[in-house]
Every structure is written in C-alpha cells, then in structure tokens.
Structure 1
Amino acid sequence: MTEDASPRALITGGSRGIGRALAAAFAADGYDLVLVARNEERLEAVARELECGYGVDVTTVSADLTDPDALEEVYERATAGGAVDVLVNNAAVAVYGPVAETDLEAERDQVRLNVAAPVELTKRFLPAMLERDSGHVVTVASTAGMRPGPFLAGYHASKAYLISFSEGLTEELRGTGVDATVVCPGPVLTGIHERSGRGSRWLERRFMRSPDAVAADSYEGIRAGKAVVVPGLRFRLLPWVSRLLPRPLSRRLARLIIDRGDPLESDR
C-alpha cells in the first residue's frame, strides 16, 4: 500500500447479514473493499450503496467458495487491485437435520465453505501481510462453536474449528505486526437457519441482535486487536457457562434449543 492509498478489506459473504454490516463499518472507516458472494446482483447493489454512501472503491467478486478454483480466482482478482490489509472470513452455511439423514453433498459444501475456504484464503493472504509486517485476519465464527449442536452437528463443529484455528494463529503471530481475531456472535437476525430449513425458536428470537449491532461491537474489538470478540454484553458469559456445564447437560440443553423452530423471514 502506498502512502496515499486507502487500506483495503476483503470480506466473504459480503452481500448480506454480518458481512454486509461489517463492510459498512470498514467503509465508514475509509477502507476500500473487495466483497465476495455468490449472488452477483445483490453484490452489485451493496457495492453501489457503499460507494455512494462512503466514497470508497468497492470491487465485487461473484464466486462459489465451495469450489477450490474460485478461491484462486478471488485471490488473483483481489491482489490485482493492490494489497489486502484485512481479510474477513465471514461466509458460512448451516445444514440442519440428523447426521444420518442430511444430504451428503450439503454436508461437504458446509465443510468446504465454513472451514476449507477460510483456511485457504488465510494461507493465501497471510504471507504478504507478514512480509509487510502489517495486516489482520478476521474470522467470523459463532458462540455455537463453544458447545455441541445436535441437528446442527456439522455447523457447530465448523465454528469450533474456526475458533481454535484463529486462536492458534493469534499465538503464532505474536510479536509480528499482523493480528488475528475470531468473532463469536450469539443469535443474529441473518436468516442462516431459515435458509437451512430449521427456522428459529421464540427464545432465540428474544435474544437475536441485528447484523448492524453485531458488526458495530465486532468492529470495535477488531480495531482493538482482540483475539476473541463476543459481541454483546449478555453473550460474553456464554464461554464461561459452556465450560462450567457438564458435557451431557450441555448436549441435552443444546438439543432442546436447536430442535426445529418456527419460520422467520429475513433477507439479512
């Protein structure tokens, strides 16, 4: 990055939900953006909104991150426009149902998108950050990764992987100018579980926060260089509660919470 150039942030899943809200937070702070998502029309609409609203440059990459070739394309197109100072691994999907009955290809795609894509993108962008001795890898996980998740077993496991991966990376980067942050939101009004076919329970909806509120808290933690960010005061006790509960009780409570909820429409 030259002295006069704006910093750049790449955000996967940047067309809606937490990704879109984080994109707005980075844009408000003067970052140019590279937004990645599958829906090209939605991406372009968000890009226009952010360019007009914040006067930043937004590059869009329509890509299916479950495809390894797409990950290479994202890297090539992003770096063609200059250095990427912040990588935000945000894109995710949830597969709902008993493991014995869920679609195998859907489970594979969940692992590819939630786990393999963040790892590969981190591997691709991190070396240049270390060479510059400046940069930040942000990974959006979930408090779901802090406890088992019957009927969302693969989703919870993928988020647990991301938490451990990011915390390990944080320690590896100690003493460098590069930071790693994992963001662990509680229930968010994004519609991810609606798209999985699960819906949500009334108790979850009572505690759901908007993507904008989650992004605001998350961005504050990212700017502070925190290793782990749990947005929202009420959710910061969850890691402690998860550790204190006996595992059998934790599993049973998770089953009661996760089993199929009611439909909730959301385009976020």
Structure 2
Amino acid sequence: EELHNLIKEISTPDLLVANAGIGINGSVGKNTPRDIQDATYLMFGGVINLIEHFLPKMKEKDSGRVVIISSIGALIPMPKSSIYAAVKSGIYSYGRSLNEELENTNVSVTVSLPGYVRTNIHKRSGLEHLTKKIPNWMWISADKVVVDTEKASRKGKSHIIPGFLYRITSIFFNLKITKIIWKTLNARK
C-alpha cells in the first residue's frame, strides 16, 4: 500500500526500468507456498503493476521507454530454479507483447535477458557455490548489462541478451549438448 501511494506521487517518467529479482531455488515441492507467492509477486506482479501504472501515461504523452529486466533463464531450462525461470519467462512474454502493442507509438518496451551478472543475488539466495562453479568467462558486469540494454532500448528493440558471448550462445540453446552443459554448470545443491 505504501508503494502504491509513493508511485501515485511520481510524475510520468521518460524511462522506466522495472527490475526485481530474488533467488528462489529448490526442487519442485521444496519451496513453501508463501515463498512462491512472495517471489512471484515481487518479480512478476510488482513489475507488471509498476508498468501498468505508468505505461498508460507514457502512451498518453506518446513518449517514453520501458526496460524490463528478465533473465536468460526465460529462454533455457533452469532445473531447481523453475519458479525463477517461470517468472522471468512471464515478464519476457509480457514485455514483448507490450512492445508489439505499442508498435505505432513513440513508446517502446525492451526486455533485457542477462546471463550471470556479478551481483550478490547468488550469495543472498544460497547459490554462492555457483560463483565458484560457473567459469569466469560466463559472468558479465552489471555495467555491461546497463550499456547493452540502454543501447537496445534507444533503438526500440523488443529484447536484448547483454554480452556478446550470451548473444552468440543463445543461438544454440535448443541443442541437446548445450542443455547438458548448461545443466551441469548450473547444478543447484
């Protein structure tokens, strides 16, 4: 409720970045209904509510950009992180749909799908072992995500996979060998 009151006080932005992420992991049935509800509200419902509040005003103004931070996990299976992957897939689809809806306006929506970003989300969510297990070359900086995403947003692209390596490897995501490698590297405890 406090957030809704705060949002009402903010004028229409030229750029809205919707980024919400928490690590929720574990085999099916391991997360509590409350954990699932909290995670899906924050990363899905909260993002959508924010955009649904501001986007009509941006449309009315016929100006503005929305950036949604999703995850590469929206495109490739994430065993033991299925809730996270499902939520990020949902906002990816939502953002792409909005971008199509806004096609004949001066408002754009860009969804960013970063891979492993050097932040503290893995430590906070009990996945710190991944910081040692995932090869260094698979990590990208938050700055790189921002630069690539901003560039794509300014061009009005519907989505971007930040980092050259991730963009190239995404072509192979549906190959069995890629799935085996990804699953091995991303094994959750």
Do both share a fold (TM > 0.5)? yes
Contact kept in structure 1, 2:16 and 2:67, CA below 8 Å: yes
Distance (Å, rounded) in 2 between the aligned partners of 1:186 and 1:76: 33
- How many residues matched? 187
* Match 1:178 to one of 94, 101, 107: 107
Show the counterpart of 2:7: 75
Distance (Å, rounded) in 2 between the aligned partners of 1:220 and 1:205: 25
Evaluate the alpha carbon distance shift between residue 107 and residue 89 of structure 1 in structure 2; reply closer, same or farther with a 3 A threshold: same
Show the counterpart of 1:114: 43
Contact kept in structure 2, 1:187 and 1:204, CA below 8 Å: no
Question: C-alpha displacement at 1:206, in angstroms?
Answer: 3.4
Distance (Å, rounded) in 2 between the aligned partners of 1:70 and 1:240: 43
Q: Report which of the two structures shows the higher radius of gyration computed on alpha carbons.
A: 1
Alpha carbon RMSD of aligned pairs, Å? 2.0
* Match 2:167 to one of 222, 233, 236: 236
* Match 1:163 to one of 81, 84, 92: 92
Unaligned runs of at least 5 residues, structure 2 = none
- Map residues 173-252 of structure 1 onto 2, 5 A cutoff: 173-199=102-128, 200=130, 201-242=132-173, 244-246=174-176, 250=179, 252=180
> Given the alignment of the two structures, is residue 99 of structure 1 paired with residue 28 of structure 2, yes or no?
yes
SS of the aligned residue for 1:136 comes to strand
> Under a length normalisation based on structure 1, what TM-score does the superposition of the two structures give?
0.65
The one-letter code sitting in structure 1 at the alignment partner of 2:121 is I
Aligned-pair identity (%): 30
SS of the aligned residue for 2:21 comes to coil
CA offsets per residue over residues 137-193 of structure 1, 9 Å max, x none? Answer: 110011111011111111111111111111111110011111010011111001212
Unaligned runs of at least 5 residues, structure 1 = 1-68, 262-268
SS of the aligned residue for 2:67 comes to strand
Show the counterpart of 2:184: 256
With CA pairs under 8 Å and 6+ residues apart, which has the higher RCO, 1 or 2?
2
SS of the aligned residue for 2:110 comes to strand
Contact kept in structure 1, 2:92 and 2:111, CA below 8 Å: yes
